[in-house]
C-alpha cells in the first residue's frame, strides 16, 4: 500500500514538473514570438494634449503618453520607442523625411517592423517620400495618426495605434498608411477629409488591406524584394507645385525660374490639359525646358489619369517636353520629381525615372 502511494506521489510530482516545464517553454515561445517593432514618434494630433494656458492642442512630451493610454499594444509586439521629433505635421520638411528614412535604414536589421506616428496634414507627402527613399523593403513600415487626440472621448487614435502594430506583424513589405478601416500604399494615399475618421483614400487603386474584425491584406500588395534595402534619401527640394486656374498669368514661369526652382509640377485640368490660347503657358514650358527644368503635368481631379495625347492642348504641352504624371497622386508626383532630381539633372534620365514604376505609385501599363 505504501509503495503504491509513493508511486502515485512520484508520478504526480513528475507530471507537475513536466507540465510546469512545458508551460514555461510555451510562455517563452509565446513571448519570443512577438515581433520586435520600433515605434518612431514625430508628433501630430495622435500625440497631442490640451494646453490649458492657450486652450489649444500642443504636442505631448514623449511617446510614453501613447503607451500609457494604449498599453494593449505591448501584447502585440515588443516595442522600442524613439521620439525622433515632436512637431505639428504642417511644419514637416524634407530634412524630417530624411531623418525618418535614415533612422529606419540604420536600424533595419534590429527590428521586424516599424510604426511611425505622424500628423495627418502632410502624412501623404511623408508616406510618398519614404516610399521612394526606402526601396526594396522586406518589412512593414506603417504610418498612422488620428483625427482626434488620444485623451478625447470617441478618439480614433486608440484603434489606429493598436491596428498599426497588428498590421506590422503581417506580410507587408512596403510603406503603408493605416487609418480607420483602410491600409493604403504610401505612394497612393491622399487625405480627403478634415472631418471623417476614414480621412484617407487610396487614389486610382484599391487599398492594399482593410481593417475590420481582423486585418485582411489583398494580393496586389508588394512582395518582398530579393534585392538589398536601398536608401535613396538624396532629394532635390527645389521643386515647385503650380496649380492652374482660369486667367493665370504666364509670367509666373519667369518668377519660378528666377527663384531658382529646378523642377515644376503643374496641376492641370482634366486629363492634364493646360491653357494654350489666351494666357497660354506653352512659352513658359518651353522656356523652362530650354533651361533643363523638367515640367511634369498632373491633374486636379482626384481620380483618373493624365493623357497628354487625348486633347490638342495636351499634345502641344507634350511637344514642348512636358512629362505626364499618369495616374500618380500629386503628393507622389512631387516627391518622385524631388527624388529624380536628387539622382540626376540630365533631363532624359529624369523623364525615364518619372515614367518608371518604383514603389507601386503608378500603373505601369499607362507609361508603355
Catalytic (active-site) positions: 45, 120-121, 191, 311
Extended strands (E) in the chain: 36-43, 48-51, 56-59, 78-87, 113-117, 134-135, 141-144, 175-179, 182-185, 189-191, 200-202, 209-211, 215-217, 230-231, 239-243, 263-268, 295-299, 323-324
Q: How far apart are CA 186 and CA 132, in angstroms?
A: 10
CA dist 179 → 148, 149, 236, 304 (Å): 12, 14, 29, 23
SS3 of residue 235 by DSSP = coil
**C-beta of residue 101 within 8 angstroms of C-beta of residue 133:** yes
The x, y and z cell numbers of residue 154, run together, are: 470617441
Q: Is the CA virtual torsion 155, 159, 160, 162 positive or negative?
A: positive
Amino acid at each position: 500500500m505504501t509503495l503504491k502511494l509513493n508511486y502515485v506521489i512520484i508520478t504526480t510530482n513528475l507530471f507537475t514538473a513536466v507540465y510546469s516545464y512545458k508551460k514555461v517553454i510555451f510562455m517563452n515561445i509565446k513571448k519570443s514570438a512577438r515581433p520586435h517593432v520600433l515605434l518612431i514618434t514625430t508628433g501630430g494630433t495622435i500625440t497631442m494634449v490640451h494646453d490649458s494656458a492657450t486652450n489649444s492642442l500642443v504636442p505631448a512630451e514623449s511617446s510614453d503618453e501613447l503607451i500609457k493610454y494604449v498599453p494593449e499594444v505591448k501584447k502585440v509586439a515588443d516595442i522600442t520607442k524613439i521620439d525622433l521629433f515632436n512637431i505639428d505635421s504642417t511644419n514637416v520638411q524634407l530634412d524630417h523625411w530624411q531623418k525618418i528614412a535614415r533612422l529606419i535604414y540604420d536600424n533595419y536589421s534590429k527590428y521586424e517592423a516599424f510604426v511611425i506616428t505622424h500628423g495627418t496634414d502632410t502624412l501623404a507627402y511623408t508616406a510618398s517620400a519614404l516610399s521612394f527613399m526606402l526601396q526594396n523593403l522586406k518589412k512593414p513600415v506603417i504610418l498612422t495618426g488620428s483625427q482626434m487626440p488620444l485623451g478625447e472621448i470617441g478618439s480614433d487614435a486608440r484603434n489606429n495605434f493598436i491596428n498599426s502594430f497588428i498590421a506590422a506583424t503581417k506580410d507587408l513589405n512596403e510603406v503603408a498608411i493605416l487609418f480607420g478601416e483602410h491600409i493604403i500604399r504610401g505612394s497612393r494615399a491622399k487625405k480627403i477629409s478634415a472631418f471623417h475618421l476614414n480621412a484617407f483614400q487610396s487614389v486610382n487603386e484599391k487599398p492594399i488591406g482593410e481593417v475590420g474584425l481582423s486585418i485582411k491584406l489583398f494580393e496586389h500588395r508588394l512582395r518582398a524584394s530579393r534585392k538589398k534595402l536601398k536608401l535613396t534619401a538624396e532629394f532635390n527640394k527645389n521643386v515647385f507645385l503650380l496649380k492652374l486656374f482660369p486667367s493665370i498669368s504666364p509670367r509666373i514661369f519667369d518668377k519660378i525660374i528666377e527663384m531658382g526652382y529646378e523642377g515644376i509640377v503643374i496641376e492641370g485640368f482634366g486629363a492634364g490639359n493646360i491653357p494654350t490660347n489666351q494666357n497660354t503657358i506653352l512659352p513658359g514650358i518651353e522656356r523652362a525646358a530650354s533651361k533643363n527644368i523638367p515640367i511634369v503635368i498632373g491633374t486636379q481631379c482626384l481620380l483618373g489619369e493624365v493623357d497628354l495625347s487625348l486633347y490638342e492642348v495636351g499634345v502641344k504641352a507634350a511637344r514642348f517636353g512636358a512629362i505626364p504624371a499618369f495616374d500618380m497622386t500629386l503628393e507622389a508626383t512631387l516627391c518622385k520629381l524631388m527624388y529624380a532630381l536628387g539622382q540626376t539633372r540630365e533631363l532624359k534620365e529624369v523623364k525615364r525615372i518619372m515614367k518608371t514604376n518604383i514603389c507601386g505609385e503608378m500603373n505601369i501599363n499607362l507609361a508603355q
